[in-house]
Structure 1
Amino acid sequence: MGVVRNLCSLKFEVKIVEARNVELKSSPSSLFIRFYLHAGSNRKVELNTTEICSRPDNDVTIWNQSFGLECQGDETAIEELKQESVLFELRRRKTTSFMGKWSRSELVGRGEVSWKSVMESDGMEIERFVVMGEKKDGEDCNKPLMLKIGLKLQASKLVNTKRVEDLCGCKDCKTCDCLDYEAFVVACALDGI
């Protein structure tokens, strides 16, 4: 007989609004945000925004791009989520002289927001500027590099009396690894700009 678990449905929204005080004094490049979400069992999911060409005369870069995610987990997974953060990286990719191709991306700045701060906010929703730790070779020290983000979390309990074997669908849980059902099952859907 399998163990009955109380599962919760979690809906996330991660919104990348804009970056401010981005002053890149180099060859033509594009900017994008890479962020990492906790996916249980010490795993991370990596997501990237679209790449936007940067202009030296504009220190504001606007994405206004949202990512919707739906996850399932038990109470242990929710407690684990409270200990985690969303790590944001502002990255740039320069064009190379060879055939005008893009090079590998370089880190410009990094910042993070804890899920606990989202859970403790009104309506489990925040929108704020995150100060990004900067590389020494780029930006003006008087104007910190900032990323405006929004995070939203909706949680609801699933009325579920199924056994773990039934959730797995393998019909023989003695031979497969169903432990991942204790962690998040992450399905990502990207909404366009």
Structure 2
Amino acid sequence: MGIGRNLCSLKFDVKIVEARNVELKSSPSSLFVRFHLHAGSNRKVELNTAEICSRSDEEVVVWNQSFGLECQGNETAVEELKQESVVFELRRRKTTSFMRKWSKSDLVGRGEVSWKSVMESDEMEIERFVVMGETKDCSKPLMLKIALKLQASKLVNTKRVEDLCGCKDCRNCNCLDYEAFVVACALDGI
């Protein structure tokens, strides 16, 4: 437990809907989207969608895959998040590779969406096409349709459990009411 700070619970929902104007001129490939989420203290979490086999004549690739993450942070972390973006990368891996899962992937396109734009939108959620930058393989702009949602709620102003219990080492004590102290904090708004 933290000491005397207002904590926020943050829930991130990221949905990768589809990619449009995918014109791969090379051999059959498997496509996936890699994206990076800010995890505080200059750290990023990297997530990948499922890989979908794509032919060179396919212009729309559909994932319709969602990711949900929850974390806690103080108000400073929320302000820090406003300065960050979600970076999306459409990546290709050749399907002819013998060890496909461990083979290197190539970047097809890259785009980003700022969390500030999500926070300033109605109900803190957006759905839009992200232009994935200029790519040499495509004659039309490559676009990725995504949806982002952020839910934030304040948690109670916490005190250390030791201050409530009195034993000074709740992890190793015989205090049967350890959870009761935490619940009491929440109910009393301490």
Does 2:93 correspond to 1:101? no
> Could you say what secondary structure the match of 1:57 adopts?
coil
* Deviation at residue 165 of structure 1 after TM alignment: 8.2
* Deviation at residue 83 of structure 1 after TM alignment: 0.2
> Could you say what secondary structure the match of 1:77 adopts?
helix
Distance 1:109 1:164, change over 3 A: farther
Q: Report the counterpart of residue 52 of structure 1 in structure 2.
A: 52
Q: Report the counterpart of residue 131 of structure 1 in structure 2.
A: 131
Query: Quick check: 1:15–1:150 contact (8 Å CA) kept in 2?
Result: yes
**Deviation >4 Å, runs of 4+:** none
Per the normalisation by structure 2, the TM-score is: 0.80
Query: Quick check: 1:108–1:134 contact (8 Å CA) kept in 2?
Result: no
Partner deviation per Cα, 1:136-157 (whole Å, 9 max, x = no partner): 2x111xx100000000001100
Does 2:169 correspond to 1:162? no
Larger radius of gyration: 2
Structure 1 residue runs of 5 or longer lacking an equivalent are 173-193
Matches of 2:114 and 2:25, distance apart in 1? 32
> Could you say what secondary structure the match of 2:156 adopts?
coil
* Deviation at residue 124 of structure 1 after TM alignment: 0.2
- Supply the AA of the counterpart residue of 2:86: V
Q: Report the counterpart of residue 120 of structure 1 in structure 2.
A: 120
Partner deviation per Cα, 1:110-165 (whole Å, 9 max, x = no partner): 000000000000000000000001332x111xx10000000000110001322398
Matches of 1:84 and 1:4, distance apart in 2? 26
Aligned-residue CA RMSD in angstroms?
A: 2.1
Query: Quick check: 2:53–2:95 contact (8 Å CA) kept in 1?
Result: no
Distance 1:105 1:116, change over 3 A: same
* Deviation at residue 10 of structure 1 after TM alignment: 0.7
Identity in percent:
83
> Could you say what secondary structure the match of 1:157 adopts?
strand
Higher helix share: 2
Aligned residues: 163
- Supply the AA of the counterpart residue of 1:21: N
> Could you say what secondary structure the match of 2:80 adopts?
helix
Query: Quick check: 2:132–2:142 contact (8 Å CA) kept in 1?
Result: yes
> Could you say what secondary structure the match of 1:14 adopts?
strand
Bigger relative contact order (CA 8 A; separation at least 6): 1
Q: Report the counterpart of residue 25 of structure 1 in structure 2.
A: 25
Structure 2 residue runs of 5 or longer lacking an equivalent are 164-168, 171-190
Does 2:130 correspond to 1:144? no
Distance 1:50 1:3, change over 3 A: same
Per the normalisation by structure 1, the TM-score is: 0.79
> Could you say what secondary structure the match of 1:134 adopts?
coil
Does 2:61 correspond to 1:61? yes
